[in-house]
Amino acid sequence: MKRNNILVGILLLALYLIVELGIRTGIIEPFQQVNLFLMGINIILAVSLNLIVGFTGQLALGHAGFMAVGAYVSAVLTLKLGQPYLLAIFAGAFAALIMGIIIGLPTLRLKGDYLAIATLGFGEIIRGIIVNIDYIGGAAGINGIPKYTNWTWLYLFTLFTIFAVKNFVNSTHGRACIAIRDNEIAAETMGINTTYYKVLAFSLGAFFAGIAGALYAHYFFLIQPVTFSMQKSFDALVMVVFGGLGSITGSILAAIAVTFLNAALINLGALRMVIYAMLLVIIMVFRPQGLLGTKEFTFRTLLRLKERGTANAKD
Amino acid sequence: MLRTERLTRTFGGLAAVSNLDLNLRQGELVGLIGPNGAGKTTVFNLLTGVYHPSSGDIIFENESLVGHKPFQITAKGLARTFQNIRLFESLSVLENVKIALHWHSRYSLFSALFRLKGFYAGEEKMTAEALRLLELFNLDHKKDELAKNLPYGEQRRLEIVRAIAAKPKILLLDEPAAGMNPQETQDLMALIQKVRKLFNLTILLIEHDMSLVMGICERIYVLDYGKVIAQGTPAEIKNNKRVIEAYLGEEA
Amino acid sequence: METFIAQLLNGLSLGSIYALIALGYTMVYGIIQLINFAHGEVLMIGAYAGYFAVTILKLNFFAALLFAMVVSALFGMIIERIAYKPLRRSTRLAVLITAIGVSLFLQNGGLQVFGTDYISFPQAIPRVTYKFLDGNVTITSHQILILLVTIAMMLILQYIVQKTKIGKAMRAVSYDKDAALLMGIDVDSVISVTFALGSALAAVAGVLLGMYYQTIHPLMGVMPGLKAFVAAVLGGIGIIPGAMAGGFLLGIIEALVSGYWSTTFRDVVVFGLLILILIVKPVGLLGKDTREKV
């Protein structure tokens, strides 16, 4: 157990150093860098949305709205109020968390179907409000946000998200959420305060979406209400479903794959989403738990696959 | 210990339960029987807060349960099983039991997120307690299997373990013997007697299997169309004319 | 007072379109408890069908309307068969995600096939503006047509649901699917017919929207679709008169907000209203309380 942790630590550090070196030496080109940053942000979005949709079973479609809150709050803090970046990130994240509680409390008491629409509507409310505030640029958005997000920040916060969500779902609190997904009525008669846990998962997910927004704002230095449209929420959902409802590693792999695909299919225009949408339906019809399901991709599964491979080779 | 006063629940004008007066004394094992659709499960749903009564009251240890949420009622000491098994399918047997331990043994969210001491200590304590209960029901060797992969009889047993893990004072069993063969039913009866003594439980039991009800219950309520039509000892119930007409007659 | 009447008239015509869309949501929800996210896209397809019927087939307004209804009805039925039917026994979550998938598929497929430009919608009847109250209040011939068509559609729908055999079957299925099956009702075809009816109404809404805004676009169904869902929830989801009332009410509220406050706050108010209903009266204005069977 302990030795495994050390191994993971070394691998993660190595990955950090290799990419850092690649960026410094220019081996990783600017276009690839952009995709690398999008990948990190997508991982954060997918993993945090999986906490809500995959682990707790609540279909929320307002992730882009929380991302917008994080982006705008952090941008105002750094650009207009001259606050340090770290503070701005956490302020953005906490603002999104509070929004999560405000929106979650009334809607999560209800059955899942309403939640989907209510959160979609909420995303639109956020955008509608932003458009109407001149202080943050209205529809034109905020320009010239300092470009603070570098590889180190991105990497740290991506890891922070992954490990926090992983620790959460593997604790008694995360189990409570999974119990709600599996059977809400049984969960509440076994002493689980279902409303509390639904709101908790929802607002925690919002918290991390807020972080993603802050990272985004301070990398692309321009944010506009249209950046955080429904389409962004759907993108995150696509990643969660592809990877598996209830699999963190699945979400990570799917976020990486979708980022690559997006870059490769950039010239296809709308056809790209046509393909994703079709895959979404096909996966739901034939494998409703998503590709990895609730399974996690670990070293052990890798070994097992290898064993199976050699066993098959012998046959 | 637990009593209902003129408890009524209507669905769209139809009374599923009407003016029900139940009374459970400390340590009793009471049966609730009646033909299909008599309102038995509705009574359980009312007692555990899944449904709210249309009128009437539920008093548990001199306190009304009406208006409380199911998890609050469980915390006060009522736990139940379900007629149609409701396990947490994607969780392991051990984790299913740990869910029920959550209320009494949970540790802070903060220590969970950052893997602090409280997390390790809390998990260890919960695992030990869950294992102890699983051993008692001879399910410990299956602790890592997914609940949905258990055979039917063991799923029913797991439901009982899970309910007991919630540390109830009163245990509500909804058709625990449904789908079991006579041998399994016999084992179940012994098991119910055992846990009752071990955990000092008061038990209310819905059951169709007459041999089980007559065999272990000390008192029986007979429900028909949401109303109590008879109550008494098994012997009294067996000879009650209205009961025979409404219920036992069906099978004769 | 004049502004109020003018906005009321605006609200009535927009609201009647919402009502038509909301009817489709509510009927489908009443029968299979599914939010058909693709409903707004069925509307878009109806609008394009109407457009092609007028421009290429040279049909008159009413023939084009009928053509659009048929095309959308077929589309609705196909969507149900391909995407929703295989999931009849799946979790709610899987079905909802599928519905979103279908919606995204049609939106982006529309962008791919019809292009990303707005195209102007042919004027079915000459646009005449009638003025009254000293010219302070105006109403256009299009607004009158929208209202008349909507009312006609609602009457036809009421007739089908209340008086015909298939309508009775629909009500039976929405009341208790299993019991309906036992009574010998072919539940699958009832579901198909429900989708067809709802989709045909969406097509009408699509054509009317095209007239109202004078343009159509592959994403034109997204917002009206969402808002009509809000209308359905407002009136009480699953209840046909509720959808009608909710649609009109929402249209009027929207028009009043635009008229007295600001158009940019319109959407905020609509979705804020949704959240408000969900807090205060989640079953909707005409709804009744139900709970999952345990």
Chain A residue numbers with beta carbons less than 8 Å from the beta carbon of B79 are 189-190
pTM of the model: 0.89
pLDDT for the residue B180: 85
Q: Please count the residue pairs, one from chain A and one from chain B, whose beta carbons lie less than 8 angstroms apart.
A: 101
Read off the CATH number of the domain in which A98 is found. 1.10.3470.10
Q: Is residue C115 part of a domain?
A: yes
SS3 string, C139-199, reads EEHHHHHHHHHHHHHHHHHHHHHHHCHHHHHHHHHHHCHHHHHHCCCCHHHHHHHHHHHHH
Q: Any CB–CB contact under 8 A between B48 and chain C?
A: no
**Residue A219 domain flag:** yes
Compare A173 and C172 and report the one with higher pLDDT.
Answer: A173
Q: Is B45's Cβ below 8 Å from some Cβ in C?
A: yes
Q: Does C273 map to a domain?
A: no
pLDDT band per the 50, 70, 90 thresholds, residue B248 = low
| Cβ separation C104–A273 shorter than 8 A | yes
Residue B199 sits at the chain C interface (C-beta within 8 Å): no
For B83, nearest residue in chain C (alpha carbons): C294
**Residue B230 φ then ψ, to 5°:** -165, 155
Higher pLDDT: C282 or A167? It is A167
pLDDT at residue A83, as a whole number: 92
pLDDT in tens, B63-91: 999 999 999 999 999 999 999 899 999 99
pLDDT recorded at residue C48: 96
- Going from the C-alpha of B104 to that of each of A189, A257, B31, B168, the distances in angstroms are 14, 42, 28, 11
Nearest CB to A188 within list B71, B88, B113: B71
Which residues in chain A have Cβ-Cβ distances shorter than 8 Å to C93? 53, 57, 59, 112, 245, 288
pLDDT band at C292 (very low <50, low <70, confident <90, very high): very low
- B82 interface with C at CB cutoff 8 Å: yes
Selected for mutation to probe chain C from A131, A282, A285 (highest C CB count within 10 Å) is A285
Chain B partners within 8 Å of A183 (Cβ): 86-89
* Tens digit of each residue's pLDDT (9 = 90 or more) over A89-100: 999 999 999 999
- Could you tell me if residue C165 is inside a domain? yes
Span B49-70, pLDDT tens digits: 999 999 999 999 999 999 999 9
Distance CA A88, CA A71 (A): 9
Residue A306 lies in a domain: no
Identity of the highest mean pLDDT range in A131-135, A203-207, B24-28, C60-64: A203-207
For chain B, list the domains and their CATH numbers: 1-77+168-252 (3.40.50.300), 88-161 (no CATH)
> Distance between CA A262 and CA A259 in Å, rounded?
5
Q: pLDDT tens, C195-209?
A: 999 999 999 999 999
Domain count, chain A: 1
Please indicate, yes or no, if residue C252 is contained in any of the structural domains: no
Return the number of other C-beta atoms located less than 10 Å from residue A120's C-beta.
Answer: 25
A to C CB pairs, distance under 8 Å: 131
Q: How confident is the model at residue A39, as a pLDDT?
A: 95
For residue B24, the distance in angstroms to the closest alpha carbon of chain A comes to: 20
* HSE toward the beta carbon, residue C269, CA cutoff 13 A: 17
Distance of residue B13 Cα from the nearest chain C Cα, in angstroms: 12
How many Cβ pairs closer than 8 A exist between chain B and C? 7
Tell whether C102 is covered by a domain.
yes
Residue C268 lies in a domain: no
Instruction: Say yes or no to pLDDT of B251 above 70.
Output: no
Residue of B99, B108, B116, B159 best to disrupt the A interface, most CBs of A under 10 A:
B99
What pLDDT sits at residue A307? 61
Residue ranges making up the domain that contains C20: 11-221
Q: Could you tell me if A40 and A252 are in contact, meaning their C-beta atoms sit under 8 angstroms apart?
A: no
Residues 161-220 of A with CB under 8 A from C: 185
Q: HSE on the CB side for A276, CA within 13 Å?
A: 31
Q: Give the mean pLDDT of chain C.
A: 88
Helices (H) and strands (E) in chain B, counts: 11, 11
CB within 8 A of C20, min separation 6: which ones? C150, C153, C154, C201, C202, C204, C205, C208, C228, C247
Stretch among A57-61, B154-158, B204-208, C30-34 having the lowest mean pLDDT: C30-34
Q: Cβ contact (<8 Å) for A285 and C86?
A: yes
Based on the structure, what is the number of domains in chain C? 1
φ/ψ bin of B11: left (φ > 0), alpha (ψ from -120 to 50), beta (otherwise) = beta
Q: What is the pLDDT of residues C113-153, one digit of tens each?
A: 999 899 999 887 788 888 877 777 788 888 888 999 999 99
In chain A, residues with a C-beta closer than 8 Å to the C-beta of C90 are: 284, 288
- Interface check A124 vs C, CB under 8 A: yes
| Of C112, C243, C155, B100, the residue nearest A179 (C-alpha) | B100
- Span B1-28, average pLDDT: 89
pLDDT tens digits for B224-238? 888 888 899 998 888
The answer to the question of residue C232 being in a domain is no
Task: Inform me whether the pLDDT recorded for C231 exceeds 50.
Answer: yes
Mean per-residue pLDDT for B22-51? 91
Taking an 8 Å cut-off on Cβ atoms, the answer to whether B69 and A189 are in contact is no
> What angle separates helix C2-32 from helix C39-55, to the nearest 10 degrees?
110
List the domain range (segments joined by +) for residue A99: 36-229
**Chains linked to B by 3 or more Cβ pairs within 8 Å:** A, C
Chain A residues whose beta carbon lies within 8 Å of the beta carbon of residue B163? 190
- Which pLDDT value is given to residue C259? 83
Tell me, yes or no, whether A312 lies in a domain: no
Q: What per-residue confidence (pLDDT) applies to C294?
A: 44
